[in-house]
């Protein structure tokens, strides 16, 4: 049987490993359980099996694949593939060179290649459409399955770079599967986030080993994976994700929800911010807890209307931060991420990038420098001077905010002399292969919040960090019918207006601190957004 290459379904690509079989299962029983429940492509990968045994196993698996009319790919071993007339081969960067494999296999067989960086895409593009049919894009996340890995995990951001390279080098024929550490808790996020910058391409499928091969109930495991792949919405937080533009009326509704739901806002933050952040949270009718105790994060995340503010100025161990992200993601509770000093040092860059790869953030908030760095746009392109002072290049900052929102599938906030909020969530919708149907970062809904300069804001500690507290209060307090974009924009609008009001009442930075809390308290409890001083306007 020859499979027409255009008909290959890469959506759920099982790679075997008989070293992890649960008791009572066999290589064939796990493969058949997968095929019965939605596996669309199989690769036999047995790294420690003698050739004779490998051939026999491959022949058995091939029989089952034929029964389900699913192609069988052989890992590494071109000789075995030819011997049993398999449907294709997968090789990596350190295996037999692709042109040689293609010459042995002939034009009709499926040939896959492991790719981890854009330069490898450039190579396959130069070879043209008769060489590589698909690429395994990885290693996405840490995995114990591949022994002595040569590549460190690239995360969704690394996969985006590969997808961008496929578009850049016009390898439009080449299909893609993500691989490495893929499991139900990250697959939707991967499909959502792994989209080329032009919005035209997302992964064509996911490839995995242990989630099925090591599953005591491989049928159930496969059914769950199939359900995620055939789904279309990643409802990662319990509220509405639609993209309607906020209004003063919708913001008023958000405040009413916060007021009645009194969210628990867990702060994992820097020491300077802790006290002021707690007082800001109380002023906003919410309940602060400044806990960095790993063993209680799951319990806290399950408290009704719990909301996490993760400010990486915190000195908590990274394992605690990861546990907190997991805990809140697991129960669809919101996480506001404040990557303090994002790339100021190698240490911070590594910490922030690790966390950004680790979970789904409901809102990512940063100052101009942090947002520009996250968007990989350096300040030199700014028309004006440094991003933290006057002469803002508004268009560039909005663009950077939209890029962050697009790439992390989040609500991105850039705060400074003016604030902007971009909505990159696409209502949670995702789709294999076709990306965002050509919608790009610059098409994202974006609101600008302005109230003129408030210089004294920069003269107190934790003013930026406490915008994070405000956002966490607002999104934590939403009902399931509350709209996320309204909440984030409302938080920024309130915070900016309160800052302006406090600046007119204070005598200096000391009294500004107090006046800011008073102003937040007053505007929140009055709940009259139409009277606030900051302006709210659509950027696009």
Ligand X SMILES: Cc1ncc(COP(=O)(O)OP(=O)(O)O)c(N)n1
Q: Which residues are catalytic?
A: 465
Measured CA to CA in angstroms, residue 422 lies from 257, 442, 494 at distances of 22, 10, 17
| Least CB distance to ligand 3NM at residue 403 (A) | 26
Tokens of 376: 């990989």
Q: Give the span between the Cα atoms of 360 and 24, in whole angstroms.
A: 36
Q: Minimum distance between the CB of residue 95 and Mg ion, rounded to whole angstroms?
A: 4
Give the whole-angstrom CA distance, residue 16 versus residue 25: 13
Residue 416 binds: one of ligand X, ligand 3NM, Mg ion, none (C-beta under 5 to 8 A by kind): none
Q: Min. distance of Cβ 273 from ligand X in angstroms? A: 43
* Minimum gap (Å) between residue 146 Cβ and Mg ion: 10
Name the 3-class secondary structure at 295.
Answer: helix
Question: Which residues make up the interface to ligand X (CB under 6 A)?
Answer: 13, 15, 43, 45, 47, 75-76, 90-92, 95, 112, 114, 136, 138, 146, 177, 179, 207
Edge-to-edge order in the sheet of strand 335-338: 287-289, 264-268, 306-311, 335-338, 363-367, 411-415, 419-423, 446-450, 535-538
Q: How far apart are CB 56 and ligand 3NM at their closest, in Å?
A: 21
CB 369 within 8 A of CB 508: no
Q: How do strand 411-415 and strand 419-423 relate by DSSP bridges?
A: antiparallel
Nearer CB in complex with Mg ion: 147/537: 147
The helix/strand/coil state of 76 is coil
- Tally Cβ neighbours within 10 Å of residue 93: 15
Question: Residue 145's binding partner, choosing from ligand X, Mg ion, ligand 3NM, none, with beta-carbon cut-off 5 to 8 A by kind?
Answer: ligand 3NM
Whole-number minimum distance, CB 289 to ligand X, in Å?
Answer: 43
> Does a cis peptide bond (omega within 30 degrees of 0) precede residue 139?
yes
Which residues in this chain contact Mg ion in the complex, by CB under 5 A? Answer: 76, 92, 95
CA distances from 179 to 139, 204, 221, 339, 411 (A): 6, 12, 17, 27, 27
Note the residues at the interface with ligand 3NM (CB under 6 A): 15, 45, 114, 136, 138-139, 143, 145-146, 151, 179-182, 208-211
Q: Could you please report the per-residue DSSP string of 337-385?
A: EE-TTTTTSHHHHHHHHHHHHHS--SEEEEEHHHHHHHTT--GGG-SSS
Report the residue closest to Mg ion, judged by CB.
Answer: 92
Which residue number is nearest to ligand X in terms of Cβ? 136
**Which lies closer to ligand X via its Cβ, residue 138 or residue 499?**
138
């Amino acid at each position: 049987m020859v499979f027409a290459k255009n008909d290959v379904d890469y959506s759920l690509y099982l790679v075997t490993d008989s070293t992890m079989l649960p008791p009572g299962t066999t290589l064939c029983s796990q493969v058949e359980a997968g095929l019965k429940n939605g596996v669309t492509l199989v690769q036999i990968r047995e790294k420690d099996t003698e050739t004779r045994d490998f051939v026999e196993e491959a022949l058995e698996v091939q029989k089952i694949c034929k029964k389900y009319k699913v192609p069988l790919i052989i890992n590494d071993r071109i000789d075995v593939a030819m011997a049993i007339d398999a449907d294709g081969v997968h090789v990596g960067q350190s295996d037999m060179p692709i042109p040689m494999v293609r010459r042995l296999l002939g034009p009709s067989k499926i040939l896959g290649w492991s790719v981890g960086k854009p330069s490898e895409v450039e190579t396959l593009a130069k070879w043209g459409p008769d060489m590589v049919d698909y690429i395994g894009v990885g290693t996405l996340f840490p995995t114990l399955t591949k022994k002595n890995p040569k590549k460190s995990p690239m995360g969704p951001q690394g996969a985006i770079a590969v997808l961008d390279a496929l578009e850049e080098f016009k390898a439009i024929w080449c299909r893609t599967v993500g691989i490495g550490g893929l499991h139900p808790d990250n697959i939707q996020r991967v499909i959502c986030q792994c989209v080329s910058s032009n919005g035209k391409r997302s992964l064509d499928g996911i490839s995995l080993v242990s989630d099925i091969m090591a599953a005591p109930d491989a049928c159930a495991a496969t059914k769950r994976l199939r359900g995620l792949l055939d789904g279309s919405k990643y409802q990662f937080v319990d509220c509405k994700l639609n993209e309607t533009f906020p209004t003063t009326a919708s913001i008023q509704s958000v405040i009413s929800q916060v007021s009645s739901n009194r969210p628990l806002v867990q702060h994992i933050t820097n020491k300077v911010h802790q006290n002021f952040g707690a007082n800001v949270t109380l002023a906003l009718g919410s309940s602060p807890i400044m806990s960095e105790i790993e063993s209680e994060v799951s319990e806290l995340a399950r408290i009704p209307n719990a909301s996490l503010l993760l400010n990486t100025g915190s000195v908590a161990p990274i394992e605690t931060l990861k546990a907190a992200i997991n805990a809140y993601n697991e129960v669809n509770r919101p996480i506001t991420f404040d990557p303090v000093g994002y790339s100021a040092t190698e240490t911070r860059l590594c910490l922030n990038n690790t966390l950004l790869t680790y979970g789904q953030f409901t809102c990512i908030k940063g100052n101009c420098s942090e947002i520009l760095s996250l968007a990989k746009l350096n300040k030199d392109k700014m028309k004006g001077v440094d991003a933290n002072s006057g002469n803002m290049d508004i268009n560039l900052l909005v663009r950077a905010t939209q890029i962050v929102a697009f790439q992390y599938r989040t609500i991105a906030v850039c705060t400074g002399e003016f604030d902007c909020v971009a909505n990159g969530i696409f209502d949670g919708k995702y789709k294999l292969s076709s990306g965002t149907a050509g919608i790009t970062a610059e098409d994202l809904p974006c609101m600008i919040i302005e109230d003129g300069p408030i210089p004294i804001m920069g003269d107190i500690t934790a003013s930026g960090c406490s915008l994070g507290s405000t956002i966490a209060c607002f999104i934590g307090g939403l009902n399931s019918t509350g709209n996320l974009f309204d909440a984030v924009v409302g938080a920024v609008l309130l915070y900016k207006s309160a800052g302006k009001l406090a600046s007119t009442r204070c005598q200096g930075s000391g009294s500004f601190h107090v006046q800011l809390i008073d102003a937040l308290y007053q505007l929140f409890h009055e709940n009259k957004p139409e009277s606030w001083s900051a302006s709210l306007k659509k950027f696009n």
